[in-house]
């Protein structure tokens, strides 16, 4: 005897439906993925700080959106299935606790105004010896219902889905195909929601008998593997033939009724094989095929509908009358009260579904994302180590290619190499950062080469502090005009000035003690000016970069008593002086004079005399 459960007879309070622990933790997984992404951006990312900040904001934003979407889906699922789960819980509250896992649970779908109404009436759940039958009216909510039942059974989802179809209710081909496609899509979504393809049982009801006749059994095939639709009509036809043969030999009416019923059921089977089953197995929309593992037909009380699709097909195929006894009439009231049995015999051949708990699957996904994180971190570490090695090698190569004469460029390149050395030494003393670690770090092998290169640097020889030119090779006696052949003597000085363009030039003229001291002073200054003008014109350096000074005979280099001493005193001295600027105010109390230089607090103000 089937146990019925009415919509309004049972309600459930308490914690039984507050939440099932076997639901897939989407929000927890989203949080885990977000944490891994943020850790990667913080420790392993090769991008700049600005890009990492932007990436972190994107990750947080996507995590919030995904959490909101998952929360809304959870609420929608609870709202859509709460009343059904309450009914199922209430129905099984007085039964053994393990019954819900040992008894098959079947989702039942079909035409709400037709077959489901005959089978369930106003009930949501029916419990028989064969299975727990849960009614699914809405294709949109079928996925929510299947997922909720899987949670309710602690990881064991529905064992099968029964699609009940009254053959005599289908009067329009377009309407029938539209309904089949709608349920086909809903079954696919439900299969994705529970994580496995739902085994489908297609049960066809055909009006082909009177209540006075014996009860019609189910004629069909069921098993664990999907059915081959081409063989169904032949298989069911053999069972129908056997059904006729076992009729009571002495009761002619029973044999005639069974033969009529078998002929109609055989024709309805052929109609379903050509019309219903191909539509359910359609894969043109990119959906996987349904796992149709059971199919059956049975006869119910009532007259066949001549205007139905199956009725037209049967009439065209068999030319059978509407009833086995011509003129037999069944009232519309009796037809509305038709009893439709549940396909229990078909369900018995479908094996129970194993328990598929969400926690192991979620843990596997979490470990999978952790593996993705390590792969991404390793890839970023390898890329950054390669960039580090290329940068250090490039800095070393650039330093080596610069000629020693270009000391300023060499010093700049050497400073870059020193920064590389400091970075490598810091990694050696403090530890390699995660973005370079994970076994890919190769900077330790570069440190000795970098240190050796830095230690091998030799600064260029310092420029001579002063160049001394013989006045007699530049000027005639008593003249401040350069001799025509003096250019060769001044070229060496010109090269020195160009090589140190950042230094100022002091040109000082000297004479011997022969003659008037005042005349010697003017002559020495005029000679210094002539040398300055030539150097400024030849080098293109502004005159303000030069300073001249005439000393006459006041600073002899040797005694003027001999000709050799007087020749040594006749000279022009070119001195390179670093350009110093007085950036602070010189205190009168702290100023002291020492050969034309003055000192300030903390700095030196240089002048050329």
User: Are 191 and 149 part of one and the same domain?
Assistant: yes
Supply the pLDDT for residue 326: 40
Supply the pLDDT for residue 338: 65
Domain contains 169: yes
By C-alpha distance, which of 599, 608, 603, 549 is closest to 579?
A: 608
Question: By percentage, how much of the chain surpasses pLDDT 70?
Answer: 83
Domain contains 78: no
User: Are 542 and 482 part of one and the same domain?
Assistant: yes
The answer for residues whose C-beta is within 8 angstroms of residue 130's C-beta and 6 or more apart is 104, 342, 344, 345, 347, 348
Give the lowest-confidence range in 318-322, 410-414, 554-558, 572-576. Answer: 318-322
As a three-state string, the secondary structure of 119-150 is HHCCEEEEECCCCEEEECCCHHHHHHHHHHHH
pLDDT digits (tens, 9 = 90+) for 430-472: 999 999 988 889 899 999 999 999 999 888 776 666 888 888 8
Domain contains 71: no
pLDDT digits (tens, 9 = 90+) for 191-214: 998 889 999 999 999 987 655 566
Provide the 3-class DSSP secondary structure of residue 114.
coil
Give the lowest-confidence range in 45-54, 74-83, 319-328, 548-557. Answer: 319-328
Instruction: Say whether pLDDT at 479 is over 70.
Output: yes
Supply the pLDDT for residue 254: 74
Q: If you average pLDDT over every residue of the chain, what do you get? A: 82
pLDDT digits (tens, 9 = 90+) for 490-528: 887 888 788 777 788 899 999 988 889 889 899 999 989
Question: By percentage, how much of the chain surpasses pLDDT 90?
Answer: 38
Q: What is the CB neighbour count within 10 angstroms for residue 151?
A: 22
Among the three residues 299, 333, 356, which one is the final residue of a domain in this structure?
356
Among the three residues 356, 374, 399, which one is the final residue of a domain in this structure?
356
Supply the pLDDT for residue 335: 44
Which segments within 69-194 are labelled E, that is strand? Answer: 105-110, 123-127, 132-135, 160-166
Cβ–Cβ under 8 Å, residues 480 and 532:
no
Instruction: Say whether pLDDT at 20 is over 60.
Output: no
d(CA 134, CA 105): 7
* More confident: 51 or 122: 51
Bridge partners of 60, per DSSP, are none
Give the lowest-confidence range in 80-89, 343-352, 426-435, 539-548. Answer: 80-89
Supply the pLDDT for residue 207: 86
Cβ–Cβ under 8 Å, residues 468 and 507:
no
Among the three residues 420, 455, 490, which one is the final residue of a domain in this structure?
455
User: Are 556 and 412 part of one and the same domain?
Assistant: no
d(CA 545, CA 507): 11
Number of compact structural domains in the chain = 3
What does DSSP assign to residue 606?
-
Supply the pLDDT for residue 95: 65
Q: Which helix (H) or strand (E) holds 70?
A: helix 49-92
Domain contains 450: yes
Supply the pLDDT for residue 463: 62
Domain contains 402: yes
Q: From residue 301, how far is each of 239, 244, 314, 333, 424 by CA, in Å?
A: 21, 18, 17, 12, 91
**Range 236-254 average pLDDT:** 78
Supply the pLDDT for residue 472: 80
The tokens describing 13, both together, are 């309070």
User: Are 557 and 427 part of one and the same domain?
Assistant: no
User: Are 334 and 436 part of one and the same domain?
Assistant: no
User: Are 187 and 229 part of one and the same domain?
Assistant: yes
Domain contains 166: yes
Bridge partners of 200, per DSSP, are 161, 292
d(CA 48, CA 43): 12
User: Are 328 and 415 part of one and the same domain?
Assistant: no
Supply the pLDDT for residue 283: 66
Cβ–Cβ under 8 Å, residues 590 and 604:
no
What string of DSSP letters covers 212-251?
A: TSPPP--EEEE-SSPP-GGGHHHHHHHHHHHHHHTS-TT-
Supply the pLDDT for residue 607: 40
User: Are 319 and 379 part of one and the same domain?
Assistant: no
Supply the pLDDT for residue 328: 41
**Range 340-367 average pLDDT:** 90
User: Are 133 and 237 part of one and the same domain?
Assistant: yes
Cβ–Cβ under 8 Å, residues 373 and 434:
no
Domain contains 91: no
Supply the pLDDT for residue 94: 67
pLDDT band at 248; cut points 50, 70, 90: low
User: Are 525 and 381 part of one and the same domain?
Assistant: no
* More confident: 557 or 56: 56
pLDDT band at 392; cut points 50, 70, 90: very high
Instruction: Say whether pLDDT at 218 is over 90.
Output: yes
Q: Which helix (H) or strand (E) holds 551?
A: strand 546-552
Bridge partners of 204, per DSSP, are 165, 297
Domain contains 193: yes
User: Are 229 and 324 part of one and the same domain?
Assistant: yes
Supply the pLDDT for residue 325: 47
User: Are 406 and 523 part of one and the same domain?
Assistant: no
Domain with 531 in it:
474-578
Place of tokens 């052949």: 485
d(CA 346, CA 573): 120
Cβ–Cβ under 8 Å, residues 310 and 206:
yes
* CATH code for the domain of 498: 3.30.1330.60
d(CA 275, CA 556): 127
Supply the pLDDT for residue 538: 87
Q: Which helix (H) or strand (E) holds 201?
A: strand 199-209
């Amino acid at each position: 005897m089937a146990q019925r459960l009415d919509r309004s007879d049972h309600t459930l309070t308490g914690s039984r439906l507050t939440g099932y622990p076997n639901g897939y933790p989407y929000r927890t997984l989203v949080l885990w993925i977000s944490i891994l992404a943020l850790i990667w951006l913080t420790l392993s990312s090769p991008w700049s700080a600005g890009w990492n900040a932007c990436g972190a904001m994107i990750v947080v934003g996507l995590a919030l959106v995904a959490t909101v979407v998952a929360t809304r889906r959870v609420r929608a699922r609870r709202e859509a299935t709460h009343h059904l789960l309450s009914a199922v819980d209430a129905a099984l509250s007085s039964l053994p606790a393990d019954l819900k896992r040992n008894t098959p649970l079947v989702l039942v779908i079909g035409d709400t105004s037709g077959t489901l109404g005959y089978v369930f009436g106003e009930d949501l759940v029916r419990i028989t010896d064969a299975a727990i039958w849960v009614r699914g009216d809405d294709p949109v909510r079928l996925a929510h219902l299947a997922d909720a039942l899987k949670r309710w059974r602690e990881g064991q989802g529905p064992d099968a889905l029964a699609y009940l179809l009254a053959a005599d209710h289908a009067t329009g081909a377009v309407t029938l195909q539209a309904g089949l496609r709608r349920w086909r899509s809903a079954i696919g979504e439900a299969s994705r929601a529970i994580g496995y393809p739902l085994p489908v049982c297609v049960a066809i009801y055909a009006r082909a008998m009177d209540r006075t006749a014996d009860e019609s059994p189910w004629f069909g095939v069921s098993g664990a593997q999907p059915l081959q639709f081409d063989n169904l009509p032949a298989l069911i036809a053999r069972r129908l033939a056997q059904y006729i043969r076992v009729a009571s030999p002495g009761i002619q009416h029973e044999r005639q009724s069974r033969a009529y019923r078998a002929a109609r059921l055989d024709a309805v089977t052929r109609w379903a094989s050509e019309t219903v089953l191909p539509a359910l197995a359609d894969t043109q929309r990119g959906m996987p095929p349904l796992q149709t593992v059971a199919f059956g037909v049975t006869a119910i009380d009532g007259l066949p509908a001549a205007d139905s699709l199956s009725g037209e097909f049967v009439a065209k195929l068999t030319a059978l009358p509407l009833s086995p006894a011509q003129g037999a009439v069944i009232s519309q009231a009796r037809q509305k009260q038709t009893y439709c049995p549940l396909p229990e015999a078909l369900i018995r051949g479908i094996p129970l579904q194993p328990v598929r708990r969400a926690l192991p699957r979620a843990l596997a996904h979490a470990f999978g994302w952790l593996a993705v994180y390590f792969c991404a971190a390793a890839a970023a570490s390898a890329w950054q180590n390669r960039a580090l090695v290329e940068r250090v090698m490039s800095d070393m190569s650039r330093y080596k290619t610069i000629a020693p004469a270009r000391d300023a460029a060499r010093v700049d390149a050497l400073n870059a190499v020193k920064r590389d050395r400091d970075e490598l030494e810091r990694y050696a003393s403090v530890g390699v950062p995660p973005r370079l670690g994970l076994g890919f770090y190769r900077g330790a092998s570069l440190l000795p080469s970098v240190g050796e290169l830095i230690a091998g640097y030799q600064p260029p020889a310092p420029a001579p502090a002063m160049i001394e030119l013989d006045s007699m090779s530049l000027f005639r006696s008593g003249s401040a005009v350069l001799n025509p052949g003096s250019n060769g003597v001044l070229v060496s000085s010109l090269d020195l000035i160009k090589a140190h363009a950042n230094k100022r030039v002091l040109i000082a003229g000297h004479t011997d003690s022969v003659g008037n001291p005042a005349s010697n002073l003017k002559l020495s200054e005029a000679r210094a000016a002539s040398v300055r003008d030539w150097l400024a014109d030849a080098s293109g350096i502004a005159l303000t970069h030069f300073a001249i000074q005439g000393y006459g005979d006041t600073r002899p280099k040797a005694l003027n008593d001999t000709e050799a001493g007087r020749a040594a005193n006749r000279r022009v001295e070119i001195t390179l002086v670093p350009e110093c600027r007085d950036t602070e105010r010189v205190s009168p109390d702290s100023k002291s004079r020492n050969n034309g230089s003055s000192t300030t607090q903390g700095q030196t103000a240089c002048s050329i005399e």
